[in-house]
Amino acid sequence: MRDALAGAMALGAAFSASASAQQLNVAIFGGSFAENVRTCVAEPFTRATSTRVNFVLGNSVQNAARLRATRGRPDVDVAYMDLQVAVQAKAEGLLDQIDPARLTNLPDIYPSAVDPDRRWIGFMYSSTAIAYNPRELRTPPSSWADLWSPALRGKIAIGDISATSGQHFLIAAARLNGGSVENTEPGFRAIRELRPHVVTLYTQADQVVQLIERGDIAAAVWFSDRVGAAARSGVPVAVVFPSEGAIGILPTFAIPQGARNKALAEQYMDRALSSDAQRCFAERQYAGPTNRRVELPAELAALVPYRESVDRLYFPPPEVVAQNLPAWTDRWNREIAR
């Protein structure tokens, strides 16, 4: 009887603990990115805080749209967004201010990765570059201009304008043809010419993996960190940083205004910014760390934006991108996506 009673009490206590367990909902990019964040950030965070981390998958534009649709009563506590989308979300009043006292690792983060108003923080450096299949292309592309080569007709994929890679390719095409981030007319003209030879306009980054594995494409405009992670898992893919310059990326995370678990969200962000988590993520995701204390092995440091190599990337002004993105999207949908 005593054993039965003790067992019942233990079961009741376990049920009570499970029922009251803390949960954190995180809007995050999918595929290998989410898997590596789970390993390097979410699982250690759960072990340290007994908090269950739930991932809600989406790209930057989709995550911002989620915050817009749930303004003031968000169903996520942390949102991952690329910089230009985070800047727009901040301008719309969708992001809460982060308390620096709760982020012990904040002093170690490069100033360029921290919003002056602390509405977002960059957790890695990456770039939009050219991915290619070395089994298919004996001579890899070396320039953005090579994507218009007759040899790649019907063998390339580019991101849709809803994906950061699509926005960056538009900027790269504009700069390649005498334009700029402020003047994308040459970019639209060049991509209209390329569009009949494009296999697909992808919206989720890991769609590229399937296209390469099936042999549907030989090259793609893709993210350098995704290339490294895919190559590590056996996908036949390599990266080229175009001679004109890759487009720099500063992915960020932020806390939505009105988040129910702000203190836990700040703890999660602090864990992600720690030198241990950043090194783990750099090794698994080929991401450049924003924590200046992280030391990377030489072979990895050569493959990711790291310290002085960050200075060689072209970072489009996020305010300009955010201001023009609605017009770009409208025109893209009329002229490119149709």
Confidence class of residue 205 from pLDDT cuts 50, 70 and 90?
A: confident
Dig out the tokens for 87 from the structure: 């800047």
Mean pLDDT of the chain, nearest integer: 91
Q: Could you tell me which of 207, 225, 214 has the C-alpha nearest to residue 159?
A: 207
pLDDT for 34-85, tens place per residue? Answer: 999 999 999 999 999 999 999 999 999 999 999 999 999 999 999 999 998 9
pLDDT-based confidence at residue 6 (cuts at 50, 70, 90): very low
| Sign for the pseudo-dihedral over CA of 108, 110, 113, 114 | positive
- First-residue to last-residue Cα distance in the chain: 73
- Residues above pLDDT 90, as percent of the chain: 76
Mean pLDDT of 233-240: 91
Residue 304 has pLDDT above 90, yes or no: no
Which residue is associated with the tokens 């982060």?
98
Six-digit token pair at 265? 């969200």
Asked whether the beta carbons of 60 and 87 are under 8 A apart, the reply is: no
pTM of the predicted model, to two decimals? 0.73
Beta bridge partners of 78: 26
Segment 72-111, tens digit of pLDDT: 999 999 999 999 899 999 999 999 999 999 999 999 999 8
**Span 115-174, pLDDT tens digits:** 999 999 999 999 999 999 999 998 999 999 999 999 999 999 999 999 989 999 999 999
Position 148 scores a pLDDT of 98
pLDDT digits (tens, 9 = 90+) for 276-295: 999 999 999 999 999 999 99
Which of 11-15, 59-63, 211-215, 304-308 has the lowest average pLDDT? Answer: 11-15
Inter-helix orientation angle 164-176/318-335, to 10°: 90
